[in-house]
Amino acid sequence: MTTAKKRTLQVGIVQQRNSEYADENIDLLERNIAALAEAGAELIVLPELHNTPYFCQVENTDVFNMAESIPGPSTDRYGALAASLRVVLVTSLFERRAPGLYHNTAVVFEKNGTIAGKYRKMHIPDDPGYYEKFYFTPGDLGFKPIDTSVGKLGVLVCWDQWYPEAARLMALYGADVLIYPTAIGFDPRDDDDEKARQKDAWVTVQRGHAVANGIPVVTVNRVGVEPDPGNATAGIEFWGNSFVAGPQGEMLTEADDQPVNQIVEIDMTRSETVRRIWPFFRDRRIDAFQGLVKRFLDET
């Protein structure tokens, strides 16, 4: 028997606390990205909507002024940064596609600074403090991994992370790793038990995607309290806790609730080893899965 030669990927994660000033946030991101690249990161992942505060706490039409075209100023800047540092970079932008048509879009840059591909967030949440359905049209690019020099990246965004279908489709399209830029936090009014259950559920469901698909998962969250501009709530306490899990769901690293730049080594050959002992793809009952494209199965 021959064994595939181990191939590793050095993934850098930027768990950042954002201010209300985009310039400050972007400057800090640039420094964090550069530090990780210098330390050897080949792939760097940022949190969701990393340029700004999490602006969906209120519904305000002025906020659309923060959106920009793709390509546009941010892709120019991050593309140049990726090229100068020779890293693959996963960014998360507020895309203005047309007047009145906006998306929550992840853009991936190749090491030469070109846009390797983009993913428009497919599942859009809406609950108190996260009024995303006001701002973002659900994505129309499907669940397609983005081909890069470091592998096929199954980039999904935040709310997508609760959906096994999204992870499965990325894996079926041949993704080598799942990547989730994220902005999730506690309601400060919840008690500690509820907070613990929420964070644990969030980690667990994503580790579950790793297990079910034999694929590593990289999740990068923002961190810190951001006040509600509308003063209707106590704001959001972004919980950080960025993590990387291997293809058996095993935790490779897990951040706490402070800003952190970290490099994590992923063994990219391990998925095949794990899938050989747990060949879930072999046995999927695709003949009996038609119901998955239905909203609910109450009338069959």
152 catalytic residue (yes or no): no
Closer residue to its own copies, CB minimum distance, 14 or 124: 124
Residues 70-129 within binding reach of its own copies (CB under 8 A):
122-125, 127
294 catalytic residue (yes or no): no
- Choose the catalytic residue: 48, 95, 110, 237: 48
Q: How far is the CB of 149 from its own copies (least distance, A)?
A: 20
Closer residue to its own copies, CB minimum distance, 205 or 234: 205
Closer residue to its own copies, CB minimum distance, 53 or 249: 249
188 binds its own copies (CB under 8 A): no
260 binds its own copies (CB under 8 A): no
Up-side HSE of residue 292: CA atoms within 13 Å toward CB?
12
Q: Over the range 218-235, which residues count as b (16 or more CB within 10 Å of their CB) and which as e?
A: bbbbbbbebeeeeeeeeb
d(CA 167, CA 206): 9
Point out which span in 10-18, 47-55, 148-156, 203-211 binds its own copies (CB under 8 A): 203-211
Q: What angle do CA 132, 137, 139 make, to 5 degrees?
A: 110
Up-side HSE of residue 260: CA atoms within 13 Å toward CB?
18
**Beta-carbon contacts of residue 292 (< 8 Å; ≥ 6 apart):** 165
119-158 footprint of its own copies as x/- string (CB under 8 A):
---xxxx-x----------x---xx---------------
Q: How far is the CB of 208 from its own copies (least distance, A)?
A: 2
Q: How far is the CB of 25 from its own copies (least distance, A)?
A: 28
208 binds its own copies (CB under 8 A): yes
- Choose the catalytic residue: 111, 118, 121, 199: 121
Which of 17, 19, 34, 162 forms a contact with its own copies (CB under 8 A)? 162
133 catalytic residue (yes or no): no
Interface positions with its own copies (CB under 8 A): 122-125, 127, 138, 142-143, 159, 162-169, 172-174, 197-198, 200-201, 204-209, 211-212, 248-250, 277-281, 283-286, 288-298, 300
Q: Which residues are catalytic?
A: 48, 121, 158
